């Protein structure tokens, strides 16, 4: 698949939908104003339906089925709303009904009895999400604590076709035949995958005004926390939320590139930055960690999802970073750069990647163009061979951190926020 031939999503859509681009376009808020400020407290970047990951339902889609998804929110509130994405749908998506509830502990796919709230969209329980669009629900009254798990359930009575999804969730998502959106029990949800479908955001609001202090983590599989232990909330973003007490939204996509689109790994960073980073309510800071795939795909052998891949220079990557910096500053956001992690011994490693990663990291450290930088290269390197990940932080592929590595990344970022 030629990355350059992947079609960008920029078709006109209904007024309630999101138009994609570097600078983004704010989604309208369907609920009435209140004293508190909406804050994004969970997110997942939408992707094209595809295989090549862990088994998922994106290409088959859904028909007369209920999908139940469990996410961990990083901020507290008294009202909640969700963000649905049909960004890669070629026809409108009908959501027959949706609920939100506090997650029950100890029972698979169950929710707390009495906490189920039926969501509405402009006052109606069913909604049609335009092709290539996104929209938000109305506000629902549900008190949530910071770092609490919340369950969002969608009933899809029609046949959806291939589903906009997020491939690597590191948490179980459940499916049931028929309409079970209001069930407290999880008994009907007999199938599971570890991807998210249509759900791209959860936002909360309290009765009191709150400071705009949210953080977006924007990047590739390392930001997406590949290698973290599933169903334990040990992602880089979880660790940062625990450490800082601030809302954190993870907008990583495994395999994502700064400069090129991919059928498997999402639109390039400069194309999705507006939708995935700038349009998150309550955010003040974006942390960017991306570029290893741009320089490493050309080194990899026998990886069909990587090919063809252009040879990318440090100057090319810097130009991409500058686009992100300009877009963030135009929206009044602080943007933190991150040095590329050591990659020696991985399938991304080779003479060109070694040279360019050093050049890029030198620029991030010395240019002053980011508002601050987190030095992951230094923090996670093996002292015996600084081009390699420290064994204590290596998931096992010499490229991705493990749970301990993600905790160290969170500590490193927290020091410069």
Cα distance from N-terminal residue to C-terminal residue, the chain: 39
User: b/e string for 350-363 if b means 16 or more Cβ within 10 A?
Assistant: beebbebbebbbeb
| Residue whose C-alpha is closest to residue 217's, from 112, 374, 84, 102 | 374
Rounded to two decimals, what is the model's pTM?
A: 0.92
Give CA–CA dist 212/380, Å, rounded: 30
Instruction: Tell me the torsion sign for CA atoms 226, 228, 169, 205.
Output: negative
CATH class of segment(s) 214-414:
alpha beta
Could you report the per-residue pLDDT of 235-252, keeping only the tens digit for each?
Answer: 999 999 999 999 999 999
Instruction: Indicate the domain borders of the chain.
Output: 36-205, 214-414
| Residue whose C-alpha is closest to residue 87's, from 255, 253, 220 | 253
Give CA–CA dist 340/357, Å, rounded: 7
Give CA–CA dist 135/365, Å, rounded: 38
| Residue whose C-alpha is closest to residue 343's, from 286, 282, 401, 389 | 389
| Residue whose C-alpha is closest to residue 102's, from 172, 175, 151 | 151
CB 10 within 8 A of CB 22: no
**Percent above pLDDT 90 for the chain:** 86
Classify residue 33 by its DSSP letter. P
With both helix axes pointing from N to C terminus, report the angle between 314-330 and 351-366 in degrees, rounded to the nearest 10: 40
Could you report the per-residue pLDDT of 297-334, keeping only the tens digit for each?
Answer: 999 988 889 977 899 999 999 999 999 999 999 999 99
Give CA–CA dist 414/417, Å, rounded: 5
The bridge status of strand 93-95 relative to strand 39-43 is unpaired
Q: Which two tokens stand for residue 96?
A: 């027959």
Q: How confident is the model at residue 30 (pLDDT cuts 50, 70, 90)?
A: very low
Could you report the per-residue pLDDT of 194-210, keeping only the tens digit for each?
Answer: 999 999 999 999 987 77
Burial of 270 (0-12, 13-18, 19+ CB in 10 A): buried
Classify residue 74 by its DSSP letter. S
Give CA–CA dist 388/380, Å, rounded: 8
Give CA–CA dist 154/205, Å, rounded: 22
Q: 57-61 contacts: CB < 8 A, separation 24 or more? A: 57/163, 57/165, 57/175, 57/193, 57/195, 57/197, 58/162, 58/163, 58/164, 58/165, 58/167, 58/195, 58/197, 59/162, 59/163, 60/162, 61/159, 61/160, 61/161, 61/162, 61/163
Q: What angle do CA 73, 76, 79 make, to 5 degrees?
A: 95
Tokens 């199938």, located at residue: 191
The pLDDT of residue 35 is: 55
Cis ω before 216 (30° cut-off from 0): no
Give CA–CA dist 98/119, Å, rounded: 5
Give CA–CA dist 121/231, Å, rounded: 30
Instruction: Give the architecture (CATH level 2) of 36-205.
Output: Sandwich (2.60)
The pLDDT of residue 66 is: 98
- Kindly report which listed range (29-38, 46-55, 339-348, 385-394) carries the lowest average pLDDT score: 29-38
Q: How confident is the model at residue 22 (pLDDT cuts 50, 70, 90)?
A: low
The pLDDT of residue 322 is: 98
- Kindly report which listed range (5-9, 323-327, 348-352, 395-399) carries the lowest average pLDDT score: 5-9
Q: What is the mean pLDDT of residues 273-287?
A: 98
CB 293 within 8 A of CB 255: yes
Q: Which residues pair with 193 in a beta bridge?
A: 173
CB 54 within 8 A of CB 24: no
């Amino acid at each position: 698949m030629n990355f350059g031939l992947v079609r960008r999503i920029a078709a006109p859509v209904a007024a309630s939908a999101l138009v994609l681009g570097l600078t983004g376009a704010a989604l309208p808020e369907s609920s009435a104003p209140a004293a508190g400020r909406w804050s994004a407290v969970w997110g997942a970047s939408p992707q094209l339906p595809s295989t090549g990951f862990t088994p998922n339902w994106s290409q088959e889609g859904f028909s007369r089925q209920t999908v139940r998804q469990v996410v961990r929110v990083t901020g507290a509130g008294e009202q909640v709303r969700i963000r649905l994405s049909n960004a890669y749908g070629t026809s409108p998506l009908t959501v027959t009904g949706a609920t939100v509830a506090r997650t029950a502990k100890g029972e698979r796919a169950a929710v707390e009895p009495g906490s189920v709230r039926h969501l509405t969209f402009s006052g109606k329980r069913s909604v049609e999400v335009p092709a290539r669009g996104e929209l938000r629900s109305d506000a629902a009254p549900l008190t949530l604590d910071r770092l609490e798990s919340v369950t969002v359930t969608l009933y899809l009575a029609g046949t959806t076709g291939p589903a906009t999804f997020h491939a690597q969730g590191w948490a179980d998502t459940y499916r049931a035949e028929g309409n079970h959106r209001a069930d407290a029990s999880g008994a009907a949800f007999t199938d599971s995958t570890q991807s998210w479908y249509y759900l791209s955001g959860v936002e909360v609001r309290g009765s009191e005004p709150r400071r705009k202090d949210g953080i977006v983590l924007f990047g590739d599989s390392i930001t997406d926390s590949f290698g973290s232990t599933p169903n334990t909330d040990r992602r880089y973003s979880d660790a940062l939320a625990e450490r800082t007490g601030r809302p954190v939204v993870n907008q990583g996509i495994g395999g994502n590139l700064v400069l090129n689109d991919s059928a498997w790994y999402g639109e390039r960073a400069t194309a999705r930055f507006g939708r995935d980073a700038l349009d998150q309510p309550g955010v003040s800071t974006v942390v960017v960690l991306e570029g290893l795939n741009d320089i490493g795909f050309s080194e990899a052998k026998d990886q069909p999802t990587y090919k063809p891949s252009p040879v990318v220079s440090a100057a090319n990557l810097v130009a991409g970073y500058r686009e992100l910096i300009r877009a963030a500053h135009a929206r009044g956001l602080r943007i933190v750069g991150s040095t590329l992690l050591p990659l020696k011994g991985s399938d991304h490693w080779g003479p060109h990647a070694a040279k360019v990663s050093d050049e890029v990291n030198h620029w991030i450290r010395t240019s002053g163009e980011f508002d601050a930088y987190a030095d992951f290269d230094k923090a996670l390197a093996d002292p015996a061979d600084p081009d390699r990940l420290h064994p204590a932080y290596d998931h096992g592929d010499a490229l991705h951190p493990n749970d301990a590595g993600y905790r160290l990344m969170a500590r490193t970022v927290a020091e410069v926020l």
